[in-house]
Amino acid sequence: MAFPQRFLDELIDRSDIVDVVSSYVSLTKKGSSYFGLCPFHNEKTGSFSVAPDKQIYYCFGCHHGGGVLQFVMEIENLSFPDAVRFLARRVNMDVPEDNTDREESRRRQRVLALNKDAARWFYQNLSRPEGAAAAAYLEQRRITRKTAMNFGLGASLEGWDSLLRAMQDKGYTKADLLAAGLVVQNKQGRLYDKFRNRLMFPVIDVRGDVVAFGGRVLDKSEPKYMNTTETIVYSKRRNLYGINLAKKTKRANFILCEGNIDVITLHQAGFDNAVASMGTALTMEQTKILSRYTKELVLCYDNDAAGQLATRKNIDLLKDSEFTVRVLQLPRRLADGEYVKQDVDDFIKFQGPAAFEAVLSGSANQMDYRMAAVAAGYDLSDPEQKIAYGGEISQLIASLSNAVEREVYAGRAAETAGISRDAMLLEVERARGKRRGRERRELQRENLNTAALRQPKDRSIRYTDLRSAMAEEGVIRLLLLDGTLADKCRELDPERFSSPFLGRIYRLLLEAREEGRTLTAASLSGCCTPEEMGHLTGVLQRPETAAHADRALADYIQVIQQSAERRREDPETDPLRAAVEKFREDKKKKGNGGKQA
Given a cut of 90, whether residue 547 has pLDDT beyond it is no
- Rounded Cα–Cα distance for residues 317 and 302 (Å): 19
What pLDDT was estimated at residue 64?
Answer: 84
∠559-563-567 over CA atoms, to 5°? 175
Q: What stretches of 262-400 adopt beta strand conformation (E)?
A: 274-277, 296-300, 324-327, 333-335, 338-340, 364-365
Residue pLDDT, tens place only, 190-231: 999 999 999 999 999 988 899 999 999 988 888 899 999 999
- Closest alpha carbon to 499 in 551, 461, 454, 534: 461
What does the DSSP assignment read for 129-195? GGGHHHHHHHHHTT--HHHHHHHT-EEE-SSSSHHHHHHHHTT--HHHHHHTT-EEE-TTS-EEES-
Given a cut of 90, whether residue 113 has pLDDT beyond it is yes
What pLDDT was estimated at residue 116?
Answer: 97
What pLDDT was estimated at residue 265?
Answer: 95
What does the DSSP assignment read for 23-55? TTS--EEETTEEEE--TTS--SS--EEEETTTT
Binned at pLDDT 50, 70 and 90, residue 54 comes out as: confident
Per the CB < 8 A criterion, the answer to whether 543 and 455 are in contact is: no
Spell out the residues 6+ positions from residue 452 whose beta carbon is closer than 8 angstroms to its own. 580, 583
Segment among 44-48, 325-329, 484-488, 591-595 with least mean pLDDT? 591-595
- Rounded Cα–Cα distance for residues 482 and 475 (Å): 11
Percentage above 70 pLDDT, the chain: 86
Q: Which amino acid is at 38?
A: C
∠220-223-229 over CA atoms, to 5°? 145
Spell out the residues 6+ positions from residue 417 whose beta carbon is closer than 8 angstroms to its own. 380, 386, 389, 390, 393, 424
What pLDDT was estimated at residue 234?
Answer: 92
What pLDDT was estimated at residue 106?
Answer: 84
pTM, entire model: 0.62
Centre a 10 Å sphere on the Cβ of residue 316 and count the other Cβ atoms it contains: 11
- Rounded Cα–Cα distance for residues 435 and 298 (Å): 29
Given a cut of 70, whether residue 336 has pLDDT beyond it is no
∠403-409-412 over CA atoms, to 5°? 145
Axis-axis angle for helices 421-446, 383-398 (nearest 10): 50
Residue pLDDT, tens place only, 346-372: 888 888 899 888 888 877 666 777 787
What pLDDT was estimated at residue 338?
Answer: 57
3-class SS string, 397-429: HHCCCCHHHHHHHHHHHHHHHCCCHHHHHHHHH
What pLDDT was estimated at residue 596?
Answer: 46
Q: What is the DSSP letter of 220?
A: S
What pLDDT was estimated at residue 345?
Answer: 85
Segment among 23-27, 339-343, 355-359 with least mean pLDDT? 339-343
Residue pLDDT, tens place only, 484-538: 888 888 889 999 999 898 999 999 888 888 877 766 777 776 677 777 888 888 8
- Rounded Cα–Cα distance for residues 30 and 361 (Å): 38
Percentage above 90 pLDDT, the chain: 29
Q: Which amino acid is at 435?
A: R
* Mean pLDDT along residues 27-47: 85
What pLDDT was estimated at residue 438?
Answer: 76
Burial of 397 (0-12, 13-18, 19+ CB in 10 A): buried
- Rounded Cα–Cα distance for residues 287 and 318 (Å): 8
Per the CB < 8 A criterion, the answer to whether 329 and 364 are in contact is: yes
Mean pLDDT of the chain: 84
Binned at pLDDT 50, 70 and 90, residue 118 comes out as: very high
- Rounded Cα–Cα distance for residues 157 and 126 (Å): 10
Rounded to 5 degrees, φ, ψ at 534 are -60, -40
Segment among 101-105, 318-322, 580-584, 587-591 with least mean pLDDT? 580-584
Widest distance between CA atoms in the chain: 89
* Mean pLDDT along residues 593-597: 49
Burial of 409 (0-12, 13-18, 19+ CB in 10 A): buried
More confident residue, 452 or 156: 156
What pLDDT was estimated at residue 448?
Answer: 44
What pLDDT was estimated at residue 112?
Answer: 95
Q: Would you call 330 helix, strand, or coil by DSSP?
A: coil
Distances (CA, A) of 6 to 3, 473, 519: 9, 26, 10
More confident residue, 376 or 452: 376
Residue pLDDT, tens place only, 429-484: 888 888 877 766 665 554 444 444 445 555 667 788 888 888 999 999 888 878 78
- Rounded Cα–Cα distance for residues 49 and 587 (Å): 33
> Which range has the top average pLDDT, 271-275, 303-307, 359-363, 378-382?
271-275
Given a cut of 70, whether residue 247 has pLDDT beyond it is yes
